Amino acid sequence: MIVTVTPNTALDVTYTVDGLRCGDVHRVSDVRSRAGGKGVNVARVLHALGADVRAILTAGGATGTAVVDDLTAVGVAADVVPIARETRRTTTVLADDGSVTLLNEPGPRLDGDEWQAFAAAVRSRNADVLVCSGSLPPGAGGYAELLGGTPSILDTSGDALLAGLAGRPSVVKPNADELREVTGLRDPVAAAAELRKAGAGAVVVSLGAEGLLAVTPSGSWHAAPSTVLRGNTTGAGDAVVAALALGLSRAEAWPDILRRAVALSGAAVLGPLAGDVDLAHYHREQGLVAVRARPEAHRTDSPDTP
């Protein structure tokens, strides 16, 4: 079973407006809301692919209830750790000019032993692959406390990423900006090597429309999509993580994992909301992704599976 953990759950609300103009009054023509937070989105994608997945998440207040109700309706298996404070909301404003503007509330502080209860819930599930995604709310411990022993993916940024490396995650998945921020290095290959030295098994860097760069114990690859897609990129990183988790759970070779990840990322861009994927695109694109071994790859050990 793949287990995703979401300590900083959100109710993702999507507003549709004619156009967003700073200083104006806008009539929202459409309101949709669904369970969110990066780990929840990863679980939603894996559920859509038929994978055996369970989401572990915090939930508090009326917003937390709305999150849990949505997961129940969709059929995503979830372990809910109740918290005293109200779950946050994120609001995505879609305007008819195609712009996407996000307003993210701060996460509610975890009180008392809520973090310990959360960590215990994660440990009790004995995941085959553990996915730690997203930011940590105030009062949380670190991802390193959850990682260790199990094949795992860490997808977070800043201090949460740096501290999480002590847990020796199998894969970390920063985007280019996040990678530069934590290493101070502009060259993604050199920066990825730094993260590997600090504890990451493999580093998969999302390069937006240019695809993925993977620096792994068995080599380095660049995987590029067949075409540049227009759409909502909010959930694309979570789709990459879902593909990585599926690949780890099946012990696939890196080129195969990367094909799946690029295809699923594109399928998420075409999905209307974060966590939705266009399955037709996913299946079609897997045969079209170009994966090239990078010349600077230096094998540091022998296996060609992660």
Cβ at position 70, least distance to its own copies in Å? 13
Cβ at position 268, least distance to its own copies in Å? 17
- Rounded to whole angstroms, the maximal C-alpha distance in the chain is 61
Nearer to its own copies, 21 or 292 (CB): 21
The span from the CA of 41 to the CA of 240, in Å, is 11
The label of the residue with tokens 């990682």 reads 147
Length of the chain: 306
Nearer to its own copies, 177 or 296 (CB): 177
Is residue 104 within 8 Å of residue 90, measured between CB atoms?
Answer: yes
Cβ at position 204, least distance to its own copies in Å? 22
Nearer to its own copies, 102 or 228 (CB): 102
Residue ranges that bind its own copies, judged by CB under 8 A: 15, 17, 20-29, 31, 62-63, 65-66, 91, 93, 95, 99-106
Annotation says 69 is catalytic? no
- DSSP output for 92-113: EEEETTS-EEEEEPPPPPPPTT
DSSP-based three-state secondary structure for 152: strand
Cβ at position 192, least distance to its own copies in Å? 24
- Of the listed 12, 155, 238, 278, which one is catalytic? 238
Work out the number of other CB atoms within 10 angstroms of the CB of residue 257.
29
Nearer to its own copies, 30 or 301 (CB): 30
**Which helix H or strand E contains 46, and what residues bound it?**
helix 38-48
Query: Dihedral of the CA atoms 230, 94, 212, 168 (nearest 10)?
Result: -170
Which sequence positions are flagged as catalytic? 238
